Amino acid sequence: MHDELLDLVLALDGVRQDPKYHPEGDALFHTLQVFGLALAETRDPILLGAALLHDVGKAQAGSDHDEVGADMLGGLIHPRAVWLVRHHLDLLRNPRRARHRGREIGALQQLRRWDLGGRRPGARVLSPEEAVSIVCDFPALFALDDHDPEDLV
């Protein structure tokens, strides 16, 4: 699992982002900043996994990277983390609808705050290998249950 996740994260290296919204640079640097912010606040494996993997779809897609990324992660990580990746832009795109996300609104708000915070040029970050190793130390992230992730709302 470690190598699969590392490949997904490393694929973000050099993926350019609009400097207006992402002055920090490429998607990998942004992702590692977001993960660092999450790690400073929580040890929840689902939130940490979602923070590290929220933008993996950017390696293949632009504006719909949330959907693409969630599809890439389905069957690899816990359905709740996949759901958070799929919906991590809801508070930006449709805040009114996002507010009706039930018990997951708090997790979406945290992920959104970290996502917005991960935009500092020159920030100190962990290496991709270190970040992936940390999430791989949490077996709960890889517990695949058979419920429908949409039941989370």
Q: What is the pLDDT of residue 150?
A: 54
How many angstroms separate the CA atoms of 66 and 143, rounded?
A: 21
- Per-residue model confidence as pLDDT tens for the chain (153 residues): 899 999 999 999 998 877 787 778 899 999 999 999 999 999 999 999 999 999 999 999 878 999 999 999 999 999 999 999 999 988 777 766 766 667 788 899 999 999 999 999 999 999 999 999 999 999 999 998 755 555 554
CATH fold, domain 2-152, is Hypothetical protein af1432 (1.10.3210)
Q: What is the DSSP letter of 77?
A: B
Task: Give CA–CA dist 118/31, Å, rounded.
Answer: 7
Q: Where do the structural domains in the chain lie, given as residue ranges?
A: 2-152
Q: Which of 128, 153, 8, 23 is nearest to 75 (CA)?
A: 8
Identify the helix (H) or strand (E) that includes residue 39.
Answer: helix 27-41
pTM comes to 0.89
